[in-house]
Copies of this chain bind each other. A is one copy, B any other.
Amino acid sequence: MKSYHMTADEFRRHGHELVDWIADYRSRIEDLPVLSQSKPGELRAALPEHAPDKGEPFDDILADIDRLIIPGITHWQSPNFFAYFPSNSSEPAILGELLSAGLGVQGMIWATSPACTELETHVLDWLVDMLGLPDFFKSSGTGGGVIQDTASSSALCALLAARERASKLETNRVGIQGTMVAYTSSQAHSSIEKAVKIAGIGAENLRLIDVDEAFAMQPEALARQIAADRDQGLTPFFVCATVGTTSSNAMDPLPAIGRICGKEDLWLHVDAAMSGTAALSPEYRFIHDGVEHADSYCFNPHKWMFTTFDCDCFYVKSRKDLIDTLSILPEYLRNEATESGAVIDYRDWHIPLGRRFRALKLWFVIRHYGIEGLRHHVSQHIELARQFASWVEADERFELAAPAPLNLVCFRHLGGDAVNEALMNRLNESGKLYLTHTKLDGRLALRMAIGQSMTEERHVRKAWERIQDSAESLN
């Protein structure tokens, strides 16, 4: 039979070439301009208007990576990437993704690849111990963990489970009735507002609670707002607390917030997307103080734990609440293992039905580095951030714009917003490093996020020199 498939020998050859290309890319990455210098439409203008009728030699395709793709890449894996939060990666994670693609399994239910489900459950149980999280998040109890694509999806699933717990599944049945109210801090991630909209709650029913001088949620303000809403006859049901906000890495006080949620019977979701990884080291485990009050929790190994995007670990205290919320069982998915009740079917733990075998990369990363190796690199990033913060403090032209509890340093030039913006643009356009900004107390602040896998002291030192030089030349 005629076939257009690539032969096994061709696959081996091109696969080896591509592995070597990636090794070379990672070796030279720190010399590439971090922020892509491509202009809008530049890549599209270089691509043919129509798909090819006939297949093309794979050598041509691979050659186009350097010619067409690389100029349009912002190099997240560069050690000079200090923007946003990192989306860091590592060689074992890349190999885990390769294996996942090579196996090509779709783990929507246990039976469609038991290993895909069981490895995920197992590794997520490992992580409960690795991060010092409460045992009730383990699958051996009433809870359990699942890999989601992102913390945005975890927040949505938490919000939905909370909505259904509060409404006794009536919302799922007949839709939103009355006014349900959710709470988070004014510094929380935009995904909470997005989730509230998606879930039919309405953005006006999300209360953005005031923060203190460290940009952390004020529990008294939360309690007051809940009381005021109850007085209005509204239905409070959900609080999202953040362990390490995106803007400035502020830590909401979980013990006080948790006590309020317990007293008021509200679902507490803890978003530790970036910072959760720090708890690998006992000395930073204080960030999880109070997490025992949480109904759900997430952190992203794809941010700071060397696991290629996407990999968000989402835990619930009661898997029944989550499954009752999202479960759908059409006839064509019925099977013996599911009916036996002895297995987990992860399709009921998130929005999509289908799912990739993402536990492989997480398993590879944990086994390759060991807890020791992960701790080492994460602690090192925090040390580098402290060093950077001390340099900022020692330079009278600059100030810290917020506390820097872990690996994010928010700082600003004292010259005002325009100077900071010019400084940032100049640095980013140089291609030598990439950092981004936020606003704190209405004023621009630059964000130096130190968490890229390959970032070493020399990169941070060089970045600070460039920041100083650019500040100098702006005067």
Contact = CB atoms under 8 A, between A and B. Distances in A.
A176 to B, nearest CB: 4
Most buried by B among A93, A105, A454: A105
Contact of A114 (B72, B205, B377, B436): B72
B353 A40 contact: no
Contacts of A302: 354
B126 A104 contact: no
A95 B95 CA distance: 12
Interface stretch (A2-10, A291-299, A393-401): A2-10
Nearest to A200: B200
B247 A332 contact: yes
Closest CB pairs A-B (n = 4): A200-B200, A72-B115, A175-B202, A4-B373
Contacts of A371: 51-53
A115 B68 CA distance: 8
A229 interface: no
A121 B18 contact: no
A156 interface: yes
A192 B130 CA distance: 38
B52 A332 contact: no
A202 B169 CA distance: 10
Contact of A200 (B22, B68, B99, B175): B175
Interface string A313-337: 0000000000001101111111011
B368 A309 contact: no
A40 B139 CA distance: 14
Contacts of A38: 114-115
Interface residues of A, number: 169
Contacts of A70: 115
Contact of A436 (B116, B201, B203, B332): B332
Given A8-B27, A447-B332, A113 B72 contact: yes
Interface stretch (A145-153, A213-221, A250-258, A464-472): A145-153
Contacts of A122: 43-44, 47
25 contacts: A4-B370, A4-B376, A5-B454, A6-B92, A6-B368, A14-B95, A15-B23, A35-B111, A53-B372, A60-B367, A70-B115, A72-B115, A74-B105, A75-B105, A76-B112, A94-B102, A97-B97, A152-B353, A172-B203, A174-B204, A194-B353, A198-B198, A200-B201, A247-B330, A247-B331
This chain: copies in complex:
2
- Interface SS majority for chain A: helix
Contacts of A369: 4, 55
A422 interface: no
A242 interface: no
B98 A19 contact: yes
B93 A310 contact: no
A73 interface: yes
B176 A197 contact: no
Contact of A22 (B3, B102, B172, B376): B102
Contact of A103 (B8, B40, B77, B84): B77
Contact of A12 (B19, B65, B110, B247): B19
A101 B308 contact: yes
A41 B115 contact: no
A55 B370 contact: yes
A36 interface: yes
A19 B331 CA distance: 38
Contacts of A310: 352, 354, 356
